[in-house]
Amino acid sequence: MKKLVIIILMGLFLISVKAINEEPQYKIIAHSYQEEDIKEMYKIKNELLKDYKEWVKGVDDKDQVLADHQNDYHATYKQGVYQIILGNGKGKSLSGELKVNYCESTKDIERKSFLFDWLF
């Protein structure tokens, strides 16, 4: 019994914990590579970021908010990506994270075992 407890405790020391807060992503694809289509893409991006701040005020489930607002931008929301295709969608693409506050640090928290780091 003591050996089992010691083995379990040693296993817990070797386990790494990685906590990542995943923010929803956006992807906007322009109609073509022409300058006016690219400007339109950036205009849509700015509008989306402003609208997203309004949509998520006081809401816990950001994924549901984006799923509910797919018709606003003729977008699709699948697997955490809010995708907007302008025209034929054969032009430049723009992507990033949808955040409420871009001033906050979003560093990932990585905790590793002291024993594991020391041994390896």
> Which value, to the nearest 10 degrees, does the dihedral of the CA atoms of residues 42, 47, 52, 53 take?
110
Report CA Rg, the chain: 21
Average pLDDT over residues 20-40: 89
Residue 113 has a pLDDT of: 65
pLDDT class of 61 with cuts at 50, 70, 90: confident
The model carries a pTM of: 0.67
Contacts of 70 (CB under 8 A, 6+ apart): 76, 77, 82
Q: What span, in angstroms and rounded, lies between the C-alpha atoms of 93 and 36?
A: 14
Residue 118 has a pLDDT of: 64
Digit-coded pLDDT (tens) for 63-100: 899 999 999 999 999 988 999 999 988 999 999 998 87
Contacts of 13 (CB under 8 A, 6+ apart): 113, 114, 115, 116
> Which value, to the nearest 10 degrees, does the dihedral of the CA atoms of residues 101, 65, 47, 72 take?
180
Question: How do the domains of the chain map onto residue ranges?
Answer: 21-99
Residue 58, sorted as left (phi over 0), alpha (psi -120 to 50) or beta, turns out to be: left
